[in-house]
Structure 1
């Protein structure tokens, strides 16, 4: 038996709390159908008896306050919404309890951007963490001591689980169920809740947004130029001349500000442009590849797959919608 504490964090999303409660409770039903004992005791716990969620849109009545939970086996940290800085401040009261539970052996299951709260406790320092691609830049600026994993959906390290964006937390819950009860029960939960199992990467969903939270005017100008010219064959020396910087200085500052080399940034802008064309036009893949400045189809296919985990053809099959 494992005791599950789903934290009713202030400004958490109601769906992440309820989904966790429903899935883990339903697993108990699956076990009973097989003539086995229930495995989970699932409770929603909070700082107060009643907690506002989702920017005040909802209110949940908890089963217990954290002061009445001396020990738990698994603490689930739900998604947060709204202003992260405000959410972290309003949930400070959970930190000591969560650290104490982890030090007593509890597993910590962090759903998507709930990782902002977990990171604020220091428990992720020096450890890996997955986070939604759209929250990457903000997370890195707030918690530089955390090792951010960009490609995988799930991380599992020292009893701490994290997951990347949105509803991928359902995959994390399946993953945890498998660790506790085995593959058979996880597959059964996948089928009953109709969740694709073993989804490992968020790359097919990622939208490239260049890091622009810096004040280097020359680099911002270069980024803007690259993004406005996705179909051009760009020359790095010409960009250096345009922003009046030597190549070594330019490349060093560009990498520091954006986290990408100039060449990688150009590639990612071209891939993003190609994705839009694959989603919305009937142009052939060869035409799209030539339009973004590549004359070698195989070379572009490798670049495209590097950033999306899909070939251009697979991407079109997944996302193209024919006009009515």
Structure 2
């Protein structure tokens, strides 16, 4: 008896001028991940359903490619590929802002490669948040969207509900990152092995990647999650989170834990520690500066929380994972 596998939809935004090598390359990479999943007998894992979203003649977006057609579309991630030409012009960016905001509001992970970040930035979803892009477009991104914190030293920046990547060919590592997030590290490793692709990050995984649950369907809680990711969970309180959700505190606590699997305090710790990990990996700031930067007034309390989340002291984490230039 053949078991019908669940599917998990990953959409690719095919805008005018998009690099089609990336579009088809990501599609093929995810197909290989599905093949590895079948060969390894990972029946409990969903198959990755890849859809291509293009502008329709009558307006709006429509799917013109679907690896597992089944009617209803609910992307868990939307990938904005790079372009071979230049940074997208404002008129092009504006055409997709509403769709990106809607996908994000519904819990989709937004993912960009190279200049794809301009589309997310134009939607306002990166205001006050960090992002990376190709070094050749970093100044343009910063000038056109001054509220975005551009961090070009990072090849890939996973900020929970938005992932941005720098290089024109970063779609390979980004695709493997998504395979790891949705199907697990083993399938990501086997996919990379089959494709003879060397992962950017070798050895033990750094602890800076927090992958929050975004597909639970509770709009009030998702609204708070996006707020926490955007603010870095600094200076937040239970009262403030419940108010942002429009819920009574006890109701908020119950629904937040049911949706995310974490208490609000635990979730905030994950967000803050994730930011701290990135600073330890890519900056020379001392531990006290990093503690203050992510919202802890007491460096001792920060060290305890950091060890609880990562299993390492901040200084040991830096020794193990810091970029060579730090």
TM-score (norm 1): 0.54
CA contact (8 A) 1:4 1:42 kept: yes
**How far apart in 2 are the matches of 1:6 and 1:85?**
17
Q: Secondary structure at the match of 1:167?
A: coil
User: 1:15: which partner in 2?
Assistant: 21
Whether 1:82 aligns to 2:85 is: yes
CA contact (8 A) 1:6 1:77 kept: yes
**How far apart in 2 are the matches of 1:149 and 1:124?**
13
1:61 Cα offset (Å) = 5.1
> Any idea what the Cα deviations from partners look like across 1:107-165, whole Å, max 9, x if unmatched?
11111211111111111111111111111111111111111112121111131111111
**How far apart in 2 are the matches of 1:85 and 1:7?**
14
User: 1:31: which partner in 2?
Assistant: 37
| Number of equivalences | 191
CA contact (8 A) 2:80 2:116 kept: yes
| Structure 2: segments with no counterpart, 5+ residues | 1-6, 203-322
**How far apart in 1 are the matches of 2:170 and 2:41?**
31
For residues 219-258 of structure 1, the aligned pairs below 5 Å read none
User: 1:205: which partner in 2?
Assistant: none
User: 2:51: which partner in 1?
Assistant: 43
Correspondence for 2:139 among 120, 137, 150: 137
For residues 92-111 of structure 1, the aligned pairs below 5 Å read 92-111=94-113
**How far apart in 1 are the matches of 2:116 and 2:72?**
21
1:79 Cα offset (Å) = 0.6
CA contact (8 A) 1:171 1:199 kept: no
1:176 Cα offset (Å) = 1.9
For residues 1-324 of structure 1, the aligned pairs below 5 Å read 1-37=7-43, 38-48=46-56, 62-63=65-66, 71-86=74-89, 88-199=90-201, 309=324
CA contact (8 A) 2:101 2:123 kept: yes
Bigger radius of gyration: 1
1:95 Cα offset (Å) = 1.7
**Alpha-carbon distance change, 125 to 165 in structure 1, aligned in 2, over 3 angstroms:** same
**How far apart in 2 are the matches of 1:100 and 1:17?**
22
**How far apart in 2 are the matches of 1:149 and 1:198?**
17
| Structure 1: segments with no counterpart, 5+ residues | 51-59, 201-307, 311-324
Q: Secondary structure at the match of 2:82?
A: coil
**How far apart in 1 are the matches of 2:98 and 2:66?**
20
> Any idea what the Cα deviations from partners look like across 1:47-98, whole Å, max 9, x if unmatched?
1279xxxxxxxxx95449xxx8753211111112324243x42353322111
**How far apart in 2 are the matches of 1:35 and 1:199?**
26
**Alpha-carbon distance change, 96 to 111 in structure 1, aligned in 2, over 3 angstroms:** same
**Alpha-carbon distance change, 85 to 3 in structure 1, aligned in 2, over 3 angstroms:** closer
**How far apart in 1 are the matches of 2:171 and 2:87?**
18
CA contact (8 A) 2:132 2:152 kept: yes
**How far apart in 1 are the matches of 2:72 and 2:10?**
11
CA contact (8 A) 2:51 2:64 kept: no
TM-score (norm 2): 0.53
**How far apart in 1 are the matches of 2:101 and 2:27?**
22
Q: Secondary structure at the match of 1:180?
A: helix
Q: Secondary structure at the match of 2:169?
A: helix
